Amino acid sequence: MSLSVEFPGGRQEWSSTDVPNGRWKLVVKEERTDGALNLSLFFEPPAVDVKDQSFAMQVTFEDDSKHDYQVQATSSTSNQEKMSDQGDEDKEVAESRHGWLLTLDGGRIRGQLIGLSEEQASFDTSWADVSEIPLSVVKALELHPLDSDENRNKLASLIENAGAEDQLLLRDKTGKTKVISGRITGLADEKLLVEFKGDSRKLALERVLAIVFAKVGQSPESPSPEVGSLTLAMSTDDDEKVVGTLERSDGRELVVRTAWGEAIELAVERIVEIKVRNDRLVYLSDMEPEGVEEVPFFRRVWNYRVNESLTGESLQIGEKTYNRGLAVHSRSMLTYALDGQFDRFRCSVGFDRSAPTAGIVDCRVWVDDREAFSQAGLSQDGDMAEVDLSVTSAETLRLEIDYGANEDIGDRIIWGSPRLYRVPTTETP
């Protein structure tokens, strides 16, 4: 039997009997399946890699009959490229562990997942080979980019509604996403170990887009720092956000201690923005709401925005501009966990200056389940309202904007400079 193949670089021939010196012999393996004869041909690869290329092949059998075929190389024919392909596979495995860890205090940490148990995540970060981060301070783990608004909204909804079980956002074999609930017990051999409806299952890590961890046993949203300390939220040049109390600074680097007790050293040159959270004053714009309810009058949902208007502009109520605040649209309810840490809440509330003049809303602020502030018929034509409330010992604060007389037309509202105050602790000498 002989074989003739028209490669891009020219025609080459092989034979199972007459083999020139320095050339490979054509090897033929026969296999019968259900009475049909299948032939596998093994021959010397060409000098160049022809992966994914098509070419003509002619086989001459022992009876001198000739048969023509059009074939395609589906893998690399170069040994060097095969090794590179293997390297790519290893890279894909490694990339399936790369992602973002989202902490309850608003932190966003980039790294590689090294290990995962029921109590903690082991993360290879930019500042440590292994950071042991307890899940009590973690709300979610993103393992693959969420490349659609639908998936991003799914993850946001899962975080908002976190409950007694871990939630996994998965990609199925068809590429569609689905959510399953269970309890994560570990990680082994690129498999996520999950208890699901009483059964133990192993899920390929490459299928897991994100994990939202159970809320049971999690620490408060913002652990109370020692009085006199300074809490920093630092954004870095690679989109990380590190939150911690300042321990020291020498002008070249900052050292902060995280909610889980780890000391992190960050070079000043890596930091692109610092927001200060001191022990007395905390802005709602620096906190993640524990509950978000946004109900459109018709179909369009306007998601709340932080430190900018709903159209991406500066926050303005009348002639006053706010650097910090929340922009919402009716009907909206944002709920924040206070955990008894604060004494007063203050803010201004009014219409976005650029909103249509037809807007009318009812505005309420709830402290726990008590309506502490209410103003019906707040309009674009009227003055903004000032809110100053006691929240001593309160567990939650809820900001509500409801539809007014004109349905939801032009109901673009700004909570300007919404801030919480702690009572300073006086120590007796």
Bridge partners for 127 per DSSP: none
Residue reference for tokens 């300390």 = 229
Residues 316, 322, 326, 331, CA torsion sign: negative
Residues present in the chain in total: 429
How does residue 367 score in pLDDT terms, banded at 50, 70 and 90? Answer: very high
Query: What does the block give as tokens for 266?
Result: 């960050």
Q: Which residue has the higher pLDDT, 426 or 387?
A: 387
Query: What does the block give as tokens for 134?
Result: 């307890």
Whether residue 388 lies inside any domain: the answer is yes
Q: Which residue has the higher pLDDT, 120 or 149?
A: 120
Same-domain check for residues 137 and 110: yes
Q: Residue 358 gets which letter from DSSP?
A: T
Same-domain check for residues 122 and 42: no
Rounded to 5°, the CA angle 207-213-218 comes to 165
DSSP of 273-319 = EEEEEESSEEEGGGS--SEEEE--SSS-----EESS-TTSS-EEETT
pLDDT for 333 = 93
Residue reference for tokens 């900052």 = 254
pLDDT for 27 = 67
Mean pLDDT score, 241-259: 89
Mean pLDDT score, 221-236: 65
* Lowest mean pLDDT segment, chosen from 75-84, 175-184, 329-338, 389-398: 75-84
For residue 240, give the CATH number of its domain.
2.30.30.100
Same-domain check for residues 292 and 414: yes
How does residue 97 score in pLDDT terms, banded at 50, 70 and 90? Answer: confident
Whether residue 188 lies inside any domain: the answer is yes
Query: What does the block give as tokens for 289?
Result: 């709401």
Whether residue 223 lies inside any domain: the answer is no
How does residue 429 score in pLDDT terms, banded at 50, 70 and 90? Answer: very low
Domain count along the chain = 4
pLDDT for 363 = 94
**Residue 426 in this model has a pLDDT that exceeds 50:** no
Listed residue (311, 309, 229, 324) closest to 277, CA to CA: 229
Prediction pTM value = 0.51
* Lowest mean pLDDT segment, chosen from 94-108, 196-210, 284-298, 391-405: 94-108
Same-domain check for residues 154 and 50: no
Same-domain check for residues 206 and 152: yes
Coil vs helix vs strand at 54: strand
Same-domain check for residues 289 and 272: no
Q: Residue 269 gets which letter from DSSP?
A: G
pLDDT for 343 = 93
For residue 298, give the CATH number of its domain.
2.60.120.1060
Encode 398-424 in three state secondary structure. EEEEEEECCECCCCEEEEEEEEEECCC
Same-domain check for residues 315 and 409: yes
At 142-169, the pLDDT tens digits run 988 887 888 888 898 898 888 889 999 9
**Residue 72 in this model has a pLDDT that exceeds 90:** no
How does residue 223 score in pLDDT terms, banded at 50, 70 and 90? Answer: very low
pLDDT for 160 = 84
**Residue 336 in this model has a pLDDT that exceeds 90:** yes
Same-domain check for residues 129 and 185: yes
DSSP of 205-256 = GGGEEEEE---TTPPPSSPPPPTT-EEEEEEETTS-EEEEEEEEE-SSEEEE
Same-domain check for residues 51 and 115: no
* Lowest mean pLDDT segment, chosen from 45-59, 358-372, 375-389: 45-59
Whether residue 83 lies inside any domain: the answer is no
At 265-304, the pLDDT tens digits run 999 999 998 887 666 788 899 888 989 998 887 777 788 9
Query: How far is it, in rounded angstroms, from Cα 41 to Cα 361?
Result: 77
Whether residue 86 lies inside any domain: the answer is no
**Residue 414 in this model has a pLDDT that exceeds 60:** yes
**The last residue of a domain, from among 165, 180, 212:** 212
Q: Residue 259 gets which letter from DSSP?
A: T
Mean pLDDT score, 111-131: 88
Whether residue 15 lies inside any domain: the answer is yes
Same-domain check for residues 58 and 136: no
Where in the sequence is the domain holding 66, given as residue range(s)? Answer: 2-72
Mean of all residue pLDDT scores within the chain: 81
Same-domain check for residues 118 and 172: yes
Whether residue 51 lies inside any domain: the answer is yes
Whether residue 91 lies inside any domain: the answer is no
Same-domain check for residues 104 and 26: no
Query: How far is it, in rounded angstroms, from Cα 424 to Cα 89?
Result: 56
Q: Residue 46 gets which letter from DSSP?
A: P
Q: Which residue has the higher pLDDT, 72 or 347?
A: 347
